Amino acid sequence: MRIVAATFNPIDLKLTSGHMRQIRPLHFPFVPGADFSGVVDLVGNGVNDHKPGDEAFGYSPAGGAYAEYIAIDADKIARKPRKLSYIDAASLALVASFARLKEYGANRVIDYKTERFEDYAKNVHAVLDVVGGEVQQRSFSVLKPGGVLIAISQPPSEEEAKKHQVKALMFSTEGTSENLRKIAQLADAGEIKPFIGKTYPRRDAAQAWHDARTGKFEGKLAFQVAADANQKSQKASAS
C-alpha cells in the first residue's frame, strides 16, 4: 500500500525511548508510525475486499506508517471515508481538546497540569490512563476498592494495584477492518470529526516529535508522506 499520510501518536515516543521494552520490544531496523491512509498498490492471493487503486486507511501496531509503502494484512485496513481527506482519515484516533470532550459527553473536564484531579474524582469505578508517570500513580487513589485502572501509555504498577485493592491492565489497540469500516461510516455521517493540530512534510518528522514533547499542541500531528492521489491524477490528466 502506498502511504499518503500518517500521524503521530504519543506511544511512538514511549516505544522508541525504550520505556515499553518489556512489553513492546522493538526489532531493528524500525520505522515508526501506526495510523495511516493511502492507496492500495498491490494485493495478495485470496484478497477480495480490496483492489489496486482503492483509497484506504488503517492501523499498523507493528509500526511502519512513516514509510512510503507498507505491507499490511488486508484485515487491518478499510475503505477511506469518502468525505475525508487523506490527512483527516489518518488522524481518526482523535486527540481532543477540553471543549471537544464536553461535546462528546464528558461531565467535567479537568486540566491535570493546573488542577488536582483527586479533588474532584473520588471512589470511581474505572480510570483510563493515557499519560503515565506521576499521573498514573496518583490515579490509583481515586479508585474505589475493586475498581480498575486501564493504561495505554505505560504498564501500570502491580504493587500499587494490590495496595489499593484494584485491578490494573495494559491496553493496546488492535485495529480490524470491521472496526475501521464502522469508523468510516461514522466519519461520513459527521458523527466523528478529525481534529488536526498541525501537518508536517515527512522530512520534518524529527521537528514534529520535538514539538510533541512540548505539549503545546491540541489534536493530532500529521505527516504528508506523499502527494495526494487525486492531485497526482489531476496533474497527469493536465499534462
Range of the domain at 222: 2-93+173-238
Per-residue pLDDT for 196 more than 70? yes
Rounded Cα gap, residues 239 and 237, in angstroms: 5
Q: Same structural domain for residues 77 and 192? A: yes
Task: Report the half-sphere exposure of 21 (CA within 13 A, side-chain side).
Answer: 6
Rounded Cα gap, residues 108 and 223, in angstroms: 32
Q: Same structural domain for residues 89 and 9? A: yes
Q: How many separate domains does the chain show?
A: 2
Band of residue 221 on the pLDDT scale cut at 50, 70, 90: very high
* Domain end marker among 135, 151, 170: 170
Q: Same structural domain for residues 7 and 65? A: yes
Q: Same structural domain for residues 120 and 224? A: no
pLDDT in tens, 75-108: 999 999 999 999 999 998 444 337 555 665 667 7
Which residue, among 5, 164, 157, 152, has the nearest Cα to 86 in the 3D structure? 5
Contacts of 40 (CB under 8 A, 6+ apart): 1, 2, 50, 51, 52, 53, 54, 55, 56, 77
Q: Same structural domain for residues 107 and 182? A: no
pLDDT in tens, 143-183: 999 999 999 878 899 999 999 999 999 877 667 888 889 88
* Domain end marker among 170, 199, 230: 170
Work out the average pLDDT over 105-132: 83
Q: Same structural domain for residues 178 and 89? A: yes
pTM for the full predicted model: 0.70
Q: In whole numbers, what is the pLDDT of the chain averaged over residues?
A: 85
CATH of the domain at 149: 3.40.50.720
* Domain end marker among 113, 138, 170: 170
